[in-house]
Amino acid sequence: MAWFDRPSAGFSAIAAAILLGRAVVILARAGAIGWPAGATGLLAPASWAIAAFLVLNTFGNLASKSRLERTVFAATTAALAVLSAYVALS
């Protein structure tokens, strides 16, 4: 059975690619990795979009019925939102 025969595996692969892309944007904005010179204007707005998404994600986690999601995941996404905003400001 191929990985795309299982819907959850396909969605997981897409989610992993999106997360990797976000990490690359934040690392490039922080100067930790290189970025093509012609595309540097995309880093600041993309970094702010990532930070905003993480803030929305935090609110979603806080609204959850799951105790684990309200405590652990909300704290994690809140910290990532603050750190992403810090990098976006730089």
Residue of 8, 60, 49, 55 lying closest to 25 (CA atoms)? 49
pLDDT of residue 87: 94
For the record, the structure tokens of 49 come out as 């979009």
Write the DSSP symbol of residue 4. Answer: G
Residue carrying the six token digits 């939102």: 81
Residue carrying the six token digits 């692969």: 13
The domain ranges of the chain are 3-89
pLDDT digits (tens, 9 = 90+) for 18-63: 999 999 999 999 999 988 888 888 999 999 999 999 999 999 999 9
